[in-house]
Each structure stands twice: as C-alpha cells, then as structure tokens.
Structure 1
Amino acid sequence: MDERGFKGKTAIVTGSATGIGAAVARRFGREGANIVVNYSRSKAEAEAVVAAVETAGGRAIAIQGDVASDADCRKIAAAAIEAFGTVDILVNNAGITKFAAHADLDALSQADFQRLYGVNVIGAFQMVRAVIAPLKASGHGSVVNVSSIAGTFGIGSSIAYAASKGALNTMTRSLARALAPHVRVNAVCPGFVASSWFTRSFGTETAERLADEHAKTVPLERVAAPEDIADIVAFFAGPASRHVTGETLLADGGLHLAVGQTSFR
C-alpha cells in the first residue's frame, strides 16, 4: 500500500480518543482517510485526535457515543454518512474492563459482566449492524475488531474481561461467515500495550514497572506501542489482506510461546 493507501476511504474507529484507537485514527489520517473519532467521555482528547488527523492530511469529526447503546451506535453511523457519504472501514476498538483477581469469584457481579459484555461484545455487534449497509455498498468493506490475548488464553484483568474478549473472537468468525463475500471481518489480539490506559489504571510508576517486567518475559523483548497495533489494524483494513477474513491474529510479542517454557535464553 502506498503512503496514501486509504485516501478517500471513510473509517469509524470506536473508542479512539486515546490509546490504540487514537493511533489507528492517526495512522489512517496520514494515508488520507476520513475518520470518525468516537469517544464516550474524553471529548478534549478526541478533538486533539481530530486535529492530528487533519494536520496529517485527512478529514475527521468527533462523535460522542457509548457503543453499549444501540441508539448511540446508529447515531455514530448516521454522523459518518452525513459527513462523508459512506463507511468503508469499521474498527471496533472501544472496550472496558474491571480489575479482579481470577481466583476471587466474589469480586465480580452480574452487573460487571453485563457492562463488560455490553461494551466489548454487544457494542461491537451493534456497530456492525449500524453500518452494514454502507459497508456492503462500498465494495471493499472491512471490520477490524480489537480484541485481546485474554480472550484466547483466559488471562488478563478479570475473568469477565477474558470471557468478553473470547466472545468477541468467536463473533469475529461468525460475522466473517455471515457477511462474506461483501465484508471482511478480522480481529487483532494485543498483549501488553504501553498506552495511557495502563498509566491511568496503575499510575505512571507501576505502569513503567509492568512494562519493564513484560519486556523481560516475551521473546521479542519489547513492549508494544499503540502504533504497533495500529499497523496491524491497517493491514486488516487494507487491500493487502483482501483474501483474509475470519482471522484472529495474536500481537503479543510472542508471549503465547511461553507455554511450557521457563526462559527464552
């Protein structure tokens, strides 16, 4: 793909005010795309991403909405059509978690599960449903779900989070079957990503310590940046993967290779 490979394409990126979503929006913007920057609460950060996209040569708008609400999903889709006339790419990046030790079953309530599934799974489904007509009409529609290795290995911040990402991985395959041949659906499953999400969750000192420890654990001896994941999203969204659908790609620096290993050296 050339430097302006997404020029003229329209992408909705949910949860794109910060972190991976913001990196995806900026990446597409550098290649000339029209971007719908969706946010739930971070209005100022979303507007900063819009400015970055426009500075890079793309066009962008910021739209508030909670993807757990079907009405909000339809509002986001309508705003994209009104501003840009089409939707070619949907990146389901919005996600939430609750931190709870896996062995502490009392740490999670029914409401916790419902809220996590509402955003991480149902929200992704509702966004696909809201934009399915323009995705099909585009002739090259692509959905990229930002999942997690938690959904493959049952690890991560809580059982509810891992379960929701496992459901998202399964839904990726189901939608890939259901929407072919008009729309491709794939997922990227990051491991630890050095983003503002970890800093907000743990504080700067703890987040840096976790990143250092993680880098010593994985075979590639590095921690992913949001831009690393954005590159994979761009691959799935673009023509280089036009013969790929229903794929779930682990982007964990090789952490999955640790099974049965005590050292990589």
Structure 2
Amino acid sequence: MELRDKKVLVTGGGTGIGRAVSLALAERGGAVAVNYSRSADEAEETVRMIQIQGGHALAIQANVSREQEVLSMVDTIACEWGNIDLLVNNASVTRHIPMDDLDAIPDEAWDELFQTNVKGMFYAARAVAPYMLKQKQGAIVNVGSIAGITGSGSSLPYAVSKAAVHGLTRSLARSLAPHIRVNCVAPGAVLTRWWEGREQQMEQLAGSLLLGKTALPADIAHMICGVLEQEALTGQIITVDAGQSM
C-alpha cells in the first residue's frame, strides 16, 4: 500500500514511538492526526515539526480509554479529511510494580491498564473500521510489547495487557478480513523518556542484547510503516527488540 496521501490516525502520537511514527508517516506523504490525552504541548510540537517539512498534520485530544471520546475524535478527523485510511494504535500506559510482588498489584492497576491498552485499542479500531470497509481497504497496526511474549516487563498487569493486545490483533485480523489488515509490532526496550532516571538499568540491558544496543523510536516507526505498506500481511506479531527475547 502506498502511504502517500493516506489519512492516518496515530494514538499517543505526540511523544516517543508515537512521535517517531507520526514523523515517518508524514515523510512518506501521509496526512497525520496526532492524538494525545494529556501531552498537548508535545502533540502540537509534533504537528509543527511535520508542517515545517511541508507535511499535513493536526493534533486532536481524546482519552482512548473512553469510547465516546474516541468516536468524537474519529468523527472530527473524518469530517476534516473525508476519510481515515490507516490507524496506528500506539497509546498505552503502564505501572512500575516489581514482578515478584503480587500483593503490590491493586485492582485499579488492572482496570487502568486494560481499559487503555486493550479496550482503548479496540475502541479505536471499531471506530475507524466503517470508513475503511466503505472503501474496501485499510490497515491497522497495534503497538504491543515483548512483555506480552516473555511475560516480563514494568509490571505483571502491563505484560498481561500486552499479551491481550497480541490476541486482539489476531482476532481483529479475522473479524475485519479481507478488506482491513491488522498486525502488531512488538518492541523491546526502546530509548524513550520512559527510561528517564533509569539510565544505568538501560545501559545494563543494552549490554545483554544480541545487537549490543537498544532500539530507537525511529527503528520502531520504520517497521510500523513497512507493515502498513505490506499488503500480504495480516494477523502477525512482529518483534523489534535487538534480540532481547532470544
């Protein structure tokens, strides 16, 4: 699929991997709706970065864990641009809880992570699907995590929520075939602001990876763009982790 002139929604598009994806899509000629929940300044800066390079973008607020906000966001984008061709489901949250301390996991952690990381991605996919089905073409990439494969990560609920994202990807691929392709890119450790204050931990992890270094947001963005372009791919979980899961 050619990305030029495609209308793309990137949830959590103002920071980290989301910003890198937004910029990469714009470089390929896509018009990008940069969604944010609280990071308004970062989203607006991402839009400015795209516009300075001659691209088309807009920032739009919605908390993806709230379905009515997602529906309103999608309606606004469709009214502005006439359609939505592609979706990158990137918005996620986490809690930092020791993996071996089950008693430290409150119920609200489960609720928050599943509401945003899993149901939020479902809400966004369901909202954009009618636009893609109408033109009999579309693609969705969910951003998962190797935490959902290895079972280890920032917390047990986070790892389980990302495993659910991987399952959601496969189920949506079946539900929306043959016109909408649904895949998942599962990053390992990526050098984003998530690691602020944990630089020593990041250095130790990098030394243990097969490639000897952690991925950059641009690495993940490049893969996401490739997956959106690849028309013979659906229902797949693709890891980009510098060998972390080996």
Q: TM exceeds 0.5? A: yes
Kindly tell me: are residues 20 and 73 of structure 1, through their superposed partners in 2, closer, same or farther at Cα, counting changes over 3 Å? same
Deviations 1:90-132 (A, max 9, x none): 0000000001111111211111101100000000000011111
Amino acid at match of 1:254: G
2:234 paired residue number = 245
1:216 paired residue number = 207
Q: For residue 139 of structure 1, report the CA deviation from its aligned partner.
A: 3.3
Amino acid at match of 1:235: G
1:233 paired residue number = 224
1:146 paired residue number = 143
1:261 paired residue number = none
Residue 34 of structure 2 aligns to a residue in which SS?
strand
Q: For residue 215 of structure 1, report the CA deviation from its aligned partner.
A: 1.7
Displaced runs of 4+ in structure 1, greater than 2 A?
137-140
Q: For residue 218 of structure 1, report the CA deviation from its aligned partner.
A: 0.8
Distance 1:256 1:98 in 2: 21
Q: For residue 186 of structure 1, report the CA deviation from its aligned partner.
A: 0.3
CA contact under 8 A between 1:86 and 1:138: conserved in structure 2?
A: no
TM-score computed with the length of structure 1 as normaliser? 0.90
Distance 2:219 2:4 in 1: 21
CA contact under 8 A between 1:31 and 1:58: conserved in structure 2?
A: no
1:178 maps to 2:178:
no
Matches within 5 A, 1:1-265: 5-199=2-196, 203=197, 206-207=198-199, 209-238=200-229, 241-257=230-246
Percent identity between the two aligned chains? 39
Residue 86 of structure 1 aligns to a residue in which SS?
coil
Any unmatched runs of 5+ in structure 1?
258-265
Q: For residue 140 of structure 1, report the CA deviation from its aligned partner.
A: 2.8
Any unmatched runs of 5+ in structure 2?
none
CA contact under 8 A between 1:15 and 1:38: conserved in structure 2?
A: yes
Q: Which of 132-141 and 113-122 deviates more? A: 132-141
Give aligned pairs, total.
Answer: 246
Q: For residue 210 of structure 1, report the CA deviation from its aligned partner.
A: 2.4
CA contact under 8 A between 1:32 and 1:57: conserved in structure 2?
A: no
Distance 1:15 1:36 in 2: 10
CA contact under 8 A between 2:195 and 2:202: conserved in structure 1?
A: no
CA contact under 8 A between 1:99 and 1:157: conserved in structure 2?
A: yes
CA contact under 8 A between 1:144 and 1:186: conserved in structure 2?
A: yes
Residue 245 of structure 2 aligns to a residue in which SS?
helix
Kindly tell me: are residues 85 and 229 of structure 1, through their superposed partners in 2, closer, same or farther at Cα, counting changes over 3 Å? same
Deviations 1:181-233 (A, max 9, x none): 0100000110100012222xxx2xx32x2232122111111110000000011
Q: For residue 29 of structure 1, report the CA deviation from its aligned partner.
A: 0.8
Kindly tell me: are residues 57 and 137 of structure 1, through their superposed partners in 2, closer, same or farther at Cα, counting changes over 3 Å? farther
TM-score computed with the length of structure 2 as normaliser? 0.97
Distance 2:75 2:86 in 1: 14
